[in-house]
Structure 1
């Protein structure tokens, strides 16, 4: 069998969904709870290619153990090794992962080459499974037991007695691994193939999936509890339906991102809709079905569908209303709106409407003096902390509740959006602003907030705001801190003008970037800075 044959897929094997190469696949029927003997049977030696997974792991881990504390007991190491081996399916190429032992040195993230190049398997992309349901990854504990059984060791005591320095090194490595995992989710960069391996033998890891983590985050109960307890948000949707029954009565409603089904139930019970279709791609839709049943609503009255809006075919050709709570931090974070617009363009009737149908983004200037706290902490001078905090916080956008006394300017409307006509490409936009300072102030931040309107002619208008001047919502406000060296001191009545660009990040379309080029009118004070709300 040639190296290139290793990348072929088996179409007639029981394990057709798994990688059919010299890596013996698990049977699809194998469960994580199966005994080690069952797992061992699936790891038979591939004599033709001299490929034995446990022996290869042993050879690699033996080398690593000279500079890495008990690598066999580190799940991060095993998972990344297994994913790397999936992309390097021949025995010789597996061994090429290991440089000569004399070239190792230790840094915070574990053993690296003297040149600074990390081991291939250490690259954070290998946290993501190469195979979607890789049995080896799911059975890493059993794999470890088998390893100890063959090569010796204690599988019952996985708590290593580290020295203080070793513990510190291990904790740093874990922190670095966690940071790398976050970077993996927000980067599309793939590791280059090793120069001494044939490209035909390399199966590249999959590109980063920025949707799965997003939908999975909505499978947890906490986020839904937070949203439902946000009375400003939830009651605005409820009132917009209660006060506009004539808009909903006898109509077909599409609820995009239905979650627990609360908007679907409001539409049916309060709005008297003829039929509601709820769509969600998270596990929460299973609970939505139970909630609908518990409230006496049949599967014909509220049809719940699991999947991405862009990929589903609805049981109707047209709907009258597309309802959704798509807003994220700073209005556009998480980029759910394009999916809602896709539903609008594909299914909404000519006389239909989005609900809500309008939204607006606003900007204000702020002077937040919270760092003054560090000048006197219970009689102790900690002002050095002030500089550290001010030097760090400007690097990314911050989401938090802003006190009203922080605001030092007018609230300027930087963007209006008619959701019935806006296009996907309009969601990356350039705008201008004019902000007038109320008092003599040092300006150290911009504050972004938004308003949402349910507002159609001949119907009752309902709105809610995330402004600093209103009751806080779970969206809070978005703070864009100025880099300390650019902070301007402004006099009452002075005007700041500027340009702002809002756009989706290239590495992860669900993250949002703000770029602001500002200047104080009539003077030389100016600056330009970029921030991002990131996952």
Structure 2
């Protein structure tokens, strides 16, 4: 079923080259992979019509990429992508799943009479061994704000180990976006933080009055803890397009055939956005992503399908948007320009989570540049 030694060695080399400690696989499984072993979690993703339609259309509108081909599905989950690939004409599909969801995938494949085409393999892509190289790698690897969860690392590993030189990736390209927004969430979060601190001060008084212990020395660390929770942790939200108050800008573009793990460890960008609303509040920034199924230059898709998680007034996605709220907010007006310095890296204690440094400054209509404001956020 695979070479655990080779996979572990590769992981240690990657971690060492990036100055990180090797990931504890048991801890990683408990914190991350185990979630995907539950059918209710799979149902949430399978109920996302935007997600499902994009993958379905990308496969069945580009059958020439699958007919008679060998396919690897990384993180197959329920197995539905593998089933579509087989239905589109693939001669062999290797469906790799790290959790016990592989048992359900195997049953689903059998009930759809595709067990002669699809082989479900339980194990991590870093550890398993395939009997051959593949023509296509398909995977739904995207996390919140694209890179949270770091599953793309495994897809890159699969590509480097098992994709033929002229093979293609589904999806083939990805982009990360950021735009200024207005939202009442900023006021709610500040109110929650202030309420938490009021409760803390009441707790201090009662503890000293009843038990004779003054615990005020812990106020500063408690405040720091609560600020991180309420004010510095990015918020999952489903934004309406009317909440976007400026032009969106691309933070990063990714070619899935070429990108390396080292190139996604850190996302840095200096962007600008032109305010499009009259006299409004700048309450934060919203981040989202899109992916495309374009094939390759040598073997392009007949139908270029896009999956976007941008703010929508109709059907959103289960990814929604990542919202970075500002405290305090600022006021902006149409025609003003917002300059943003953005940096996102992986958290030291959990490589699947992210930390963000976001600085912004506003160039007013008069030409005056307001002082830069720096913020730190966590994507957890």
- Smaller-chain TM-score range? 0.7 to 0.9
Query: In the aligned structure 2, how far is the partner of 1:518 from the partner of 1:459?
Result: 41
Unaligned runs of 5+ in 2: 1-19, 197-225
Return the offset for 1:384: 6.3
Give the secondary-structure state (helix, strand or coil) at the position aligned to 1:455: strand
Q: CA deviation at 1:429?
A: 2.2
Q: 1:373 to 1:496 in 2, by over 3 A?
A: closer
**Do residues 289 (structure 1) and 106 (structure 2) align?**
yes
In the TM superposition, what is the alpha-carbon distance from 1:370 to its structure 2 partner?
Answer: 5.2
Is the Cα–Cα contact under 8 Å of residues 234 and 323 in structure 2 kept in the other structure? yes
Picking from 310, 327, 346, the partner of 2:161 is: 346
Q: What corresponds to 2:261 in structure 1?
A: 424
Match of 1:121 in 2: none
Cα shift readout 1:60-88 (whole Å, capped 9, x = no counterpart): xxxxxxxxxxxxxxxxxxxxxxxxxxxxx
Count of residues in Structure 1 that have an aligned counterpart in Structure 2: 318
Asked which structure has the greater RCO (Cα within 8 Å, sep 6+), the reply is 2
Give yes or no for the alignment of 1:523 onto 2:357. Answer: no
Q: Tell me how far 1:369 sits from its aligned partner.
A: 2.7
Quote the Cα distance in structure 2 between the aligned partners of 1:385 and 1:303.
50
Residue 464 of structure 1 corresponds to 307
Higher normalized strand content (fraction of residues): 2
Q: Is the 8 A contact 2:156 2:260 kept in 1?
A: yes
Q: Report 1:51-200 matches (<5 A).
A: none
SS at match of 1:263: helix
Which of these residues, 290, 302, 325, is aligned with residue 118 of structure 2? 302
Do 2:239 and 2:312's aligned partners in 1 also have CA atoms closer than 8 Å?
Answer: no
SS of structure 2 residue aligned to 1:211: helix
Map of 1:508 onto structure 2: 350
| Cα gap change, 1:301 to 1:440, in 2 (>3 Å) | same
- Whole-Å separation in 2 of the counterparts to 1:320 and 1:357: 13
In 2, are the aligned partners of 1:393 and 1:481 still within 8 Å (CA)?
no
CA gap of 1:527–1:333, structure 2 versus 1, over 3 A, is same
Instruction: Check conservation: 2:251, 2:267, Cα contact below 8 A.
Output: no
For the aligned residue pairs, the C-alpha RMSD in angstroms reads 2.4
How far does residue 243 in structure 1 lie from its aligned partner after superposition?
0.4
**Take 2:186 and 2:342, find their aligned partners in 1: how far apart are those partners?**
27
What is aligned with 1:412? Answer: 249
Match of 1:403 in 2: 240
Q: Normalising to structure 2: TM-score of the pair?
A: 0.79
Offset at 1:252? 0.3
C-alpha contact (below 8 Å) 1:488/1:525 kept by paired residues = no
Instruction: Rate the CA distance shift 1:350–1:219 in 2: closer, same or farther, 3 A.
Output: same
